[in-house]
Amino acid sequence: MTEESPNSGMSIGRSLLYLTVICALLVFFWRYYQENVSEYTSVPVEMQINYVPADFTFDMDEDNALAILANPHRYRREFNELIYDFNMALLYHVARRMDLADSTMVLLEPEYKKHHPYLKQLYFNDFIQIQDTSANLYESWYNNESGGATAVLNEVASKYSCFLVNHVIMGLIKSTDGKINVKGQRVNTPCGIAMTEALRPMIKRLQDRAAIIDFSRSKGLMEEKVERLIAELATVEIRDKKAINKRMQTKIWGYAVSSSDVEISAISLLKAGFKLDQFFDLKLNSKRKRIEITLPEPVILSHEVYPKIDKLDIGWLREVKEVDFNQNFNALRAEFRRDALNDNVLETSKREAKELMSLLFTPLISSQYKGYKIEVRFKRMRKMQDDLSSDDEGRRTENVRLQKEEVPF
């Protein structure tokens, strides 16, 4: 009969302890793994999205859309409707691609209406801030009026499309921590579908039509001579000079084999002031002892740019086309105007106008109306500045709403 060693019992106990610890760790890691990969292995039905093919459909009149984008102030209501219609078309396309249930589809429009009031304002504010709305004539001459407006719309819509999808569609889908399991054909994120399959085709349609309209309009400027009476008061003149350098390379298999250098400089003469034929009013207020002079909001009255080619070095394989020069000229012109607006040239016009009105009318007032003072006001017109655009005169005389902004002298 053999006697069992004490060390043998301790070894068995230690083994059982190790085995218990290992089993506990295995159970812990198994539960942790199940919780973190459940979206791939055991996805609830409400989190599963099956992408199906669908074509983006948006009933848009390109000519009307471009007219609205060219004059967003004048067509503010139509601008809001254009944004509403496009956003709804975008949402419906993403929903069809995700094969959402009919019960969810009917909730898209009510859900979007919750966001449209502030979204339309964001679209409009960003669009106006980016677009050069006071240069219709110059943009037409450089074949870029409608094309520029389309580019601005693309920039603004790209900024908010993903936000729109995430807050409307994803808000209607039941998910865990925003995670969904997707499968099917042409798989992409909802945001990616909105950008590539909805926004991009719409912008392409507008760009194609804008190229035709801009070209036709610029040609029409050369064929027509317009004469009309004007009454303008220029109060600020800005002279500036800028230059631009551009290098264009021709590459073969990724290697540059030829290049062309173009250097263009230009001087700018910009005048800002008031179109008195739009509005001018002078009233005598005996109760307040004021001479009230009301002027329209200041605008850029004229902008003359004189370009000069300082360097033209054309490579042996590179052809410089007219469009290259036009793009450079237009870039310089736009930069001149941008600098002037950033320097608050319109506010300076207001300040100078008040001083000028005082200089002109003070001698008359002091001799005829003792104790009276001059008060200059500015009336803001919701109508966009026509800036000698090619719109017909019938459209220019349509009724506009006026909003008064008083600026005491």
Torsion of CA 179, 185, 189, 194, to 10 degrees: -140
DSSP structural state of residue 384 = P
Separation between Cα atoms, residue 402 and residue 396, nearest integer Å: 15
Alpha helix (H) ranges present in 224-321? none
Ordered DSSP codes for 208-247: HHHHHHHHHHHHHHHH--------EEEEEEEEEEEEEEEE
How high is the pLDDT of residue 371? Answer: 81
* Measured CA angle at 279 (ends 276, 285), to 5 deg: 110
For the chain, the average pLDDT equals: 75
At residue 250, the 3 state secondary structure works out as strand
Evaluated on CA atoms 244, 250, 256, 260, the torsion sign reads: negative
pLDDT band at 83 (very low <50, low <70, confident <90, very high): very high
| pLDDT, tens digit (0-9, with 9 covering 90-100), for 128-140 | 877 765 666 666 6
Ordered DSSP codes for 312-353: EE--TT----HHHHHHHHHHHHHHHHHHHHHTTHHHHHHHHH
Separation between Cα atoms, residue 318 and residue 75, nearest integer Å: 44
| pLDDT, tens digit (0-9, with 9 covering 90-100), for 44-75 | 444 567 788 888 888 889 989 988 988 888 88
pLDDT-wise least confident of 37-46, 235-244, 279-288: 37-46
At residue 61, the 3 state secondary structure works out as coil
pLDDT band at 336 (very low <50, low <70, confident <90, very high): confident
77 vs 253, higher pLDDT: 77
| pLDDT, tens digit (0-9, with 9 covering 90-100), for 278-288 | 888 888 888 88
Q: Which two tokens stand for residue 160?
A: 């908010």
Amino acid at 345: V
Evaluated on CA atoms 151, 154, 157, 159, the torsion sign reads: negative
Separation between Cα atoms, residue 45 and residue 139, nearest integer Å: 54
Pairing relationship of beta strands 290-296 and 281-285 according to DSSP bridges: antiparallel
Measured from the Cβ of residue 307, the count of other Cβ atoms closer than 10 Å reads 18
Closest CA relative to residue 134, chosen from 308, 260, 300, 296 = 300
How high is the pLDDT of residue 43? Answer: 40
Amino acid at 335: E
How high is the pLDDT of residue 10? Answer: 59
How high is the pLDDT of residue 81? Answer: 94
